[in-house]
Amino acid sequence: MNLDKWSIFSLLNPEFKSKIRSAFVFGGGSEAFVITESDDVYGLGQNSCSCLGIDSTESTLEPKKVEELCGKKVKAFASGCGANVVALTEKGEIYVWGHNKFGELGNEGCNTKVPGLLPGLADVVIEEIACGGHHTLALDKDGKVYGWGQNNNGQIEYTLRANSSRFRQIITTIGVKKIKNIACTNSASFAVSHNGKVYAWGNRENGQLGLPHDTNISQPFKIPGFDNAIIVKVACGFSHVLALSDSGNIIAWGSNNYGQIGIGSKSNVYLSPVRTATEIERVVDIAATPDCHISAALTLTGSVYMWGQYRGHSVTTPMLTPFKLMSDIFASFAKPAVMNSLLPIWTEDSLSVIASLKHAFNDPNTSDLTIMVDGKLIYVHKGILKIRSEYFHSMFKGEWKECCKSPLEIDKFSFPVYKAYLYYLYTGIIDIEPEAVLGLLELSNFYCEEGLKRKCEQIIKSRITPENAALLYVASVTYNTRFTKVKKSVVKEQIPIALLGILAVCFFFIYLNKVLSLLNKRGCFCCIESSKNS
């Protein structure tokens, strides 16, 4: 994921930003955690209820280190709407901090500004966490589910008569089932068993429990209506649920006031699970977050679809996006712009093929061809040249005797020009001094590189100034002279028409520079006339 898509990171120091390897944006998009390549954890943003874990109540745009989490290998964050935060480490430990009015921290009601281990789970290895508005679920490696926090709708379980300020295993109904996945809407809880069944409990509003009635259910029950579908994952929005089957189908239910179910309308009549996104290919992953009303899906071929609330608009059927990651949907269209999970961050260097090619250019350790120009060596790769240049493609077919030479000697062009050409083949970037661009233009004509030729013409036009106009003029004369030995018919084809315009502009700047110099010496515009008369 590209960090620049999230506005909260826009003021970060570029050097610091380059060291970030994962990030989590929460709290209405106004707060975030980042983990660096050295496993240091930093918090930044509004810091509501001390949710940044930096032992302070002050907001900060400058990342502050979360000492208690540094070096702990945090693999997941989850947060509630009350600014309570849960962190899960690779060892299976849970840290909690922030808002605790409803027992969200599960630590006997103790408020804390910094992350602290959840007491009582020392011998339990947690593998997954999920937060609703003010309650939390945790899943251990043995498939047992634990819950704590607000219980006003039975989202923890029915045996409680109040909120739970201490974690407890949810033993009713699903206690004998092995669970493989958990999720929360704002005020309901969901679990997927190892045999692919979905269990739900909590608030029934808008049909988010998958039942067409108005009664809250505080005891986990198996949602009917899946027929023979085997569910592998559930993802929850604020009050709607997506379920992904092992056959790549999506089943959805709950609130549909923004079209987040994806049935082609904003009707809430589909309170029970219904097959949705039927027009798209096999789905391999789904995403949603309790902070908004967006649904997202990733297909087998890498296509990303979205539906639901789109910056004030409603998308009622799955719409194909240009994105490659589902997280980009939440960055671009969710309101607030939050992350559905802790996401890996790739810098431009790690994402870009061009960056890798740039690094490989002129590298003697990996090259398989050396080119010599003006006695200087340039290290390149035959495969790249064959792919990027028709000239080299023909050469390396074996038809030319030059293809077997190493180093391959070039005497038609200067070293700066030829190196710039090869660098362009690797990166698509022209890196050359303005007065040498005409030489590169000559090369592009010689090798029939139309794309390079157009770029050279654009650069020449944009770089003409009174200071370099004379140099460009001399270079253009040199460029023209080199083609005087070619037949006139060929010259007309080789010299681009744009060059004539460029020369005219060069002459204009030379003349203008002389006029300005004359004005500076004489001190008035009338001197032009007197100079003409003289």
Q: How far apart are CA 437 and CA 431, in angstroms?
A: 9
Q: Name the pairing type of β-strands 369-373 and 408-410.
A: parallel
* pLDDT of the residue at 160: 60
Region of 188 please: left (phi>0), alpha (psi -120 to 50) or beta. Answer: beta
**The CATH number, out of the four listed (3.20.20.240, 3.40.50.1700, 3.30.710.10, 3.90.700.10), of the domain defined by the range 351-522:** 3.30.710.10
* pLDDT of the residue at 494: 40
* pLDDT of the residue at 524: 39
Q: How far apart are CA 140 and CA 161, in angstroms?
A: 25
Q: Which sequence spans correspond to the domains of the chain?
A: 1-71, 351-522
Say yes or no to pLDDT of 294 above 50.
yes
Percentage of the chain with pLDDT > 90? 44
Please name the residue ranges forming H helices in 179-262.
none
Does residue 188 contact residue 237 with C-beta atoms inside 8 Å?
A: no
Nearest to 466 by CA among 504, 500, 503, 513: 513
* pLDDT of the residue at 493: 41
CA-based R_g, the chain, Å: 33
More confident call, 214 vs 309? 309
Each residue's pLDDT tens digit, 143-154: 999 999 998 888
Confidence of residue 102 (pLDDT cuts 50, 70, 90): confident
Q: What is the mean pLDDT of residues 101-127?
A: 83
Long-range contacts made by residues 437-440, C-beta under 8 angstroms, separation at least 24?
Answer: 437/463, 438/472, 438/475, 438/476, 438/478, 438/479, 439/413, 439/414, 439/475, 439/479
Each residue's pLDDT tens digit, 408-428: 899 999 999 999 999 999 988
Nearest to 189 by CA among 139, 136, 232: 136
* pLDDT of the residue at 258: 93
Confidence of residue 107 (pLDDT cuts 50, 70, 90): confident
* pLDDT of the residue at 158: 65
Each residue's pLDDT tens digit, 477-514: 555 544 333 333 333 444 444 455 555 555 555 555 55
Confidence of residue 400 (pLDDT cuts 50, 70, 90): low
Average pLDDT, the chain: 82
Q: How many helices (H) and strands (E) does the chain have?
A: 13, 28
Percentage of the chain with pLDDT > 70? 79
Q: How far apart are CA 291 and CA 6, in angstroms?
A: 16
Point out the least confidently predicted range of 154-168, 335-349, 385-399.
154-168
